[in-house]
Amino acid sequence: MEFKKDNTFFKGRLKSVTYAYKGAAKLISTEHSVMVQFSLGIIMTIAGFYFHITSTEWLFQILAIGLVLSVEGLNTAVEKVADFIHPNYHERIGFIKDIAAGAVFFAAITAIAIGLTIYIPYIQNI
């Protein structure tokens, strides 16, 4: 089967967005870690409306949620490729998967720090 590239700008971009949407839907509907992170993102969004956070706080919160979900998606992709290449346990594959999970850890810690920085003052004023 030969790959046929779509040379029209609009049609090509529309296809790209469609694939990206399908990928995001697959991530949210099949990966438990992404389900958890997505749910936490919704909870934090509700908290932002409840506490009437500032525009700058919204920017940081949106960035943190997007960062965690993006890195979690990349981690999932790395794991799926690694499992496809070498389905059985292999020390090097395990090392690669641990590094990808470590990236998620850094993103999650960053998001937690941002969330605490935003919400501790609001919670203290209750």
Tell me, what amino acid is at 19? Y
Q: What residue type is assigned to position 85 of the chain?
A: I
- For residue 8, what is the DSSP state? -
* 31 labeled binding residue: yes
Q: Is 19 annotated as a binding residue?
A: yes
- Supply the DSSP symbol for 88: S
Nearest to 32 by CA among 1, 67, 75, 2: 75
Of 2, 57, 72, 91, the catalytic one is 72
Q: Is 97 annotated as a binding residue?
A: yes
Q: Is 72 a catalytic residue?
A: yes
Query: Which segments are annotated as binding site?
Result: 19, 31, 72, 79, 97-98
Annotated binding-site positions for ATP: 19, 31, 79, 97-98
Query: Which residues define the annotated binding site for substrate?
Result: 72
* Residues carrying an active site annotation: 72
